[in-house]
A and B are shown apart, each in its own frame.
Chain A
């Protein structure tokens, strides 16, 4: 690599993800608008960042050079990439050496999916978590023999298809644990393109305009020749249909009901007061009856601190009963207040996103991208 002045390097969303998973040091200069930065930005264990909009740097970067570390990797970030290159080049001209720009900007960052292996299944199969790190969405692929099931798929379905193809797998089932409000589901699209069966809880599907198979408690779904079973458990609260899945008696896919650092919010369908009792019952009674050794795998994370080794987001159910603040609110009145009154802002365009997931709105690619802008905010403690 040359150290020539004026030379900046690009960092892909993939490279940045690896760097964050490895908890390496990074300094980010985010040149988007102040509002955009405050709403949603890249964070990590050892990431420092500052925000100076690019339009304040058109005449030169002198004002910002003094705020940047001389001996650290510097990543310039903007919405799409153009302005970050513009600023990064000026920083290199000003004598900074280790300057990168984020390829494709926050737009590409929001769509990047990183598959990480969670663990093995008893018949030799495996379970993978697909981390959508920019937005905090988590989806899953359960592999057994030559078959796969995808749970809570995001709309970038080509990633699952490519992953399956590389391993010679055919996707037989796509499952949504609930009707999502923070991101556009890829479940139906993926099912259509692979010939898989699309599963959705009936109570969340009252207004959908497409065919689906009912995801019902106790009716297990088989993957692969040796029959890895996915056992649905009715667990309402985030939505009235929310259903959790126990995979191979070991892994517990909790959807948006229980997260590692928080719990689901009941208000995204406008029915917080009706569903708060369900949420309480699911978390404080139904889940309590399950084995504390189950490994909880949620559909979201709220902050980088939840990313574990190699990027996997998971926790033992028993540990969450000790440490998760949402599972430790003894008083029912306090619980009701926490999940209905002290909530973070709702995710961007959540009502439209629900309509899309019911098949009632059909936005184009660019409109879908716009709806999904920003963080997911599905948990009561997200900020």
Chain B
């Protein structure tokens, strides 16, 4: 948990302050049904038990628990609605690098660029320190920021969005691109947090 204001946008805010268990989770579930995949929900609650329960609920449903920010008595939970495809492990881009290989590259100090194509909310709560945030949705507009003289590794939560991103980059003429699999969901190396 952290105490600073998040630096990403939230699609919907749900007020569960003063509500006791099970209502915060019941309302979260209803609110989640109204969101589109990839959107971020902020749930404000005062019930301390909601912390463990939000994590547990997200785990059991496949939605993504991003993190919690505490402000005084209020716990602000951030959750991201998962889409069907992103939990399916279907990748088409042939050039990949494993989490472990990426870890070794990080330690070797050799130059490369790591692009994190997840949404700002996901990036804010947990990221590899050298990763540059370019969400999938804006990648095409920001190609000019990418180097052509070194390897580019692309990472997301589970390897799917980064697979799409790799194919896009290959289409645009980038030849030294690899997809990091499985991605942040299984990353065990050090991370920076919100």
User: Chain A residues in contact with chain B, CB under 8 A?
Assistant: 33-36, 53-56, 58, 78-80, 82-83, 86
Contact = CB atoms under 8 A, between A and B. Distances in A.
Interface in B1-54: 20-23, 25-26, 29, 49, 52-53
Nearest to A87: B22
Q: Chain B at the A interface: mostly helix, strand, loop or mixed?
A: helix
13 contacts: A33-B53, A34-B56, A35-B52, A54-B25, A55-B22, A55-B53, A55-B56, A55-B60, A80-B20, A80-B21, A82-B20, A83-B22, A86-B22
Contact of B52 (A33, A78, A83): A33
A80 B25 contact: no
B187 to A, nearest CB: 22
A233 B29 CA distance: 60
Contact of B57 (A55, A80, A86): A55
B21 A79 contact: yes
Contacts of A55: 22, 25, 53, 56-57, 60
Nearest to B30: A58
Contacts of B49: 79-80
A87 B29 CA distance: 16
Given A55-B56, A56-B60, A58-B26, 8 more contacts: A53-B56, A53-B57, A54-B21, A58-B25, A58-B29, A78-B21, A79-B49, A83-B22
Interface of B: 20-23, 25-26, 29, 49, 52-53, 56-57, 60
Contacts of A83: 21-22
Contacts of B52: 33, 35-36
Contacts of A80: 20-21, 49
A79 B56 CA distance: 15
A82 B26 CA distance: 12
Contacts of A33: 52-53, 56
A252 B54 CA distance: 48
A36 B48 CA distance: 14
Q: Which of B22, B56, B57, B60 has the most CB of A within 10 A?
A: B22
A228 B127 CA distance: 68
Nearest to B53: A55
B1 to A, nearest CB: 15
Contacts of A36: 52
Q: Which of A53, A55, A78, A83 has the most CB of B within 10 A?
A: A55
Contacts of A82: 20-23
Contacts of B60: 53, 55-56
A56 B57 CA distance: 7
Contacts of B29: 58
Nearest to A53: B56
A126 B26 CA distance: 51
Contacts of B21: 54, 78-80, 82-83
Nearest to A78: B21
Q: Which of B25, B56, B57, B60 has the most CB of A within 10 A?
A: B56
B143 to A, nearest CB: 42
Contacts of B53: 33, 53, 55
A47 to B, nearest CB: 23
Contacts of A56: 60
B41 to A, nearest CB: 15
Give the top 5 A-B pairs by smallest Cβ distance, nearest first: A55-B57, A83-B22, A82-B20, A82-B21, A55-B25
Contacts of B26: 58, 86
B59 to A, nearest CB: 9
Q: Which of B25, B49, B52 has the most CB of A within 10 A?
A: B49
Nearest to A107: B49
Contacts of B22: 54-55, 58, 82-83, 86
B126 to A, nearest CB: 21
Nearest to B20: A82
